[in-house]
Structure 1
Amino acid sequence: MLHELQKQGYQVEVVSHARAILEVDFPEVEAELTDVLKEFKIPIKELIAGGGGEAKGTQRLRNALAERQWPKFHFHVERKVNGKLLESQSHEIDHVRELPAGRIALEIEWNNKDPFFDRDLENYKRLHADGAISVGVIITRGTSLHEKMRDMVGRFLDENRILSLDDLTHWGYEPTSRQKASISGLINRVKEPLTFREAFCRKFVADKFGEATTHWRKLDDRVRRGVGNPCPLLLIGLPDSIVEFP
C-alpha cells in the first residue's frame, strides 16, 4: 500500500482490513493520494514564519486534494423509532472521496493539539458503524519529521547566519514577549548557558511542534489502544524529506 510514498520515507500503516478494502473496492484512492503526496513540499522558511491560522503547506495539500474530488463534507445522522427522533449528530470531515463503492474520509492533522486525534478516530468509528464511510484516513507528521525538527531549524539558522531574534524579522518570525524572555533566560543563565542557536531551537520547537501536538507517536498510541476500532484506517506519516531548503 502506497509503496512509492514509502520509498520516499513516508510512514504507512493500515488497520482493520483497510488494505483489502482499498485495493479491491477503491483502487483509485491509492493512485490519487500518491499523486498528491509525492509532490508535497514545505519550504523551511514557512515552518519558521508560521503565524496564525492554518499553515500554508497544509492549505496547498488541501487544495490539491480538493482538485482531485476530495472536498469538505458534512454528515448528518439521525436515529428514529416509529418516526420519533431519538438522536441527531453532525460530523464535518475535511476531505471525503465519494465513489460507487462508498466513501473514504480523510483528515489532515499537521500541527493541532493531540486530542484532535481522539475526535477524528471517534468520528470515523461512528460514521463507519452507520455505514457512512468505508475507510478513514489520517495524515500527520511522521516520526522523522517530528524528531528532526530541531536539527532542521538549526540548519536554517546556520545557513542564513542568524545570530539573534532581530535577524529573524526578515523571515516573518515575531516572537512574543514570553518567548523573548524565555530565550534570553536560557542564554543568560549562570549555570550552563546556551548559545542563541541552542536556545532558539529548543524554545521554538517546544512551543510550535511540541510533544502535545499531533504527530505519529501520538496517533499510533491511540490506535494501539483501540481508539476508533473497528473502523478500517489508513495512517500516513509525513517524512522530514518534504522540508525544502533553498
Structure 2
Amino acid sequence: MFERLLQKGFDVETRNHAGAILSVDFPDIAGELETALLALSIPAEELIGSGGGEAPSTQRLRKRLYEERWPKHTFDFRLIVDGRESVSNSHEIDHVRTTPLGKVALEIEWNNKDPFFDRDLENFQRLHAQSAISVGILITRGASLQDDMRSIIKRCIEKHEFVNEADMVQTFGMKDRTKRQRDAVQRLIDLQTPFSEAFAKHFVSDKFGAATTHWQKLKDRIDRGVGNPCPLLLIGLPASIVEV
C-alpha cells in the first residue's frame, strides 16, 4: 500500500494495524488520498511568499480533499446520567471521510508549532476510543523536505538573482519583514556571506525551525506512544514535490 508515494520519496508509516484496516475496509479512500498527494507540487517561490505559513499548494490539497468528500467535521460528545448532562466535549477535525464502514479522520500540519501534534493525536485517540473513527491520518513536512529546506530557498533566490529583500517582497508577494529579521540577514552579509545563503539560513531557522511541525517531531511522539491505540497513518511530504 502507498508504494507510489514511497517511490516518490514520501515518508509513510502506519501504527496499530492502520495499513490492514485501510487495505481491507477503505481501499478506495487510500487510493483517493494517494492520488491527491501524488498530484501535489509546491513551487519554491510559494514557500517564501507564504512567509512560513501554509503554502498555497497545501491549500490546494485541502481544496481537493474537500471536493472529494473529506469535509471539516465537528464531533460532539455528551454524557447524560439520569437526564443530566455531566460531560460535553467537541473535537473539530479538518478532514473526515465518511463511509458505511466507518470514518477516517485526517489532519494536515504543514507549519504549526509542534505541540499541535499532541492535540491531533490525542483527539484521534479519544475519537477512536468512542468508536467515532476507524483510522487517524496525519500529514506533515517530510524528513527530506525539512533537511533540504535551506538549500531549496537558497537555490530559488539564486535562480531569480535576488540581491536584497526589497525585490523579493515585490516579486513573491512577501509580507514586509521585521527590522529584527532584516538585521539578522544583514549581519551575515557583513561577514561576507552571500545574500542567498544569508537569507535562506535565517528564513528557514525563523519559519521552518526545529520547534515546528515536521516528520521527526511527529515520529518522536509516535515512538512515545502518543495517540495509542488509535490506528494511525503518518505521511511526510518530500523535497521532491518542491519545484525550484
TM-score per shorter chain, which class?
A: over 0.9
* CA RMSD between the two structures: 1.3
- Aligned residue for 2:12, secondary structure, equals strand
**Number of aligned residue pairs:** 242
Task: Output the TM-score relative to the length of structure 1.
Answer: 0.95
- Work out whether 1:183 is the aligned partner of 2:209: no
Aligned ranges 1:1-246 → 2 under 5 Å:
1-51=1-51, 54-169=54-169, 170-173=171-174, 174-189=176-191, 193-245=192-244
Q: 1:52-95, CA deviations, whole angstroms, 9 ceiling, x for partnerless residues?
A: 86431221010110111100001001112222212110000000
Q: 1:107-142, CA deviations, whole angstroms, 9 ceiling, x for partnerless residues?
A: 000011100000000000000001100000000000
CA distance 1:7–1:221, change in 2 (3 Å): same
* Distance in 1 separating the partners of 2:231 and 2:105: 11
* Distance in 2 separating the partners of 1:195 and 1:81: 68
- Aligned residue for 1:69, secondary structure, equals coil
Contact 2:53–2:111 at 8 Å: present in 1 too?
no
- Aligned residue for 2:112, secondary structure, equals coil
CA distance 1:17–1:52, change in 2 (3 Å): closer
Structure 1 residue 30: deviation in Å? Answer: 1.2
- Aligned residue for 1:28, secondary structure, equals helix
Structure 1 residue 51: deviation in Å? Answer: 4.2
Q: 1:133-181, CA deviations, whole angstroms, 9 ceiling, x for partnerless residues?
A: 0000000000001110000111111111112223313222332111011
* Distance in 2 separating the partners of 1:44 and 1:80: 52
CA distance 1:2–1:56, change in 2 (3 Å): same
* Distance in 1 separating the partners of 2:54 and 2:146: 18
* Distance in 2 separating the partners of 1:33 and 1:11: 14
* Distance in 2 separating the partners of 1:44 and 1:56: 11
* Distance in 2 separating the partners of 1:51 and 1:180: 14
Structure 1 residue 105: deviation in Å? Answer: 0.1
- Aligned residue for 2:5, secondary structure, equals helix
* Distance in 1 separating the partners of 2:44 and 2:121: 30
Contact 2:51–2:207 at 8 Å: present in 1 too?
no
Structure 1 residue 231: deviation in Å? Answer: 0.4
- Aligned residue for 1:91, secondary structure, equals strand
Q: 1:185-206, CA deviations, whole angstroms, 9 ceiling, x for partnerless residues?
A: 22225xxx42222211110001
* Distance in 2 separating the partners of 1:55 and 1:38: 17
Task: Output the TM-score relative to the length of structure 2.
Answer: 0.95
Structure 1 residue 9: deviation in Å? Answer: 0.7
Structure 1 counterpart of 2:114, which letter? D
Structure 2 counterpart of 1:114, which letter? D
- Aligned residue for 1:112, secondary structure, equals coil
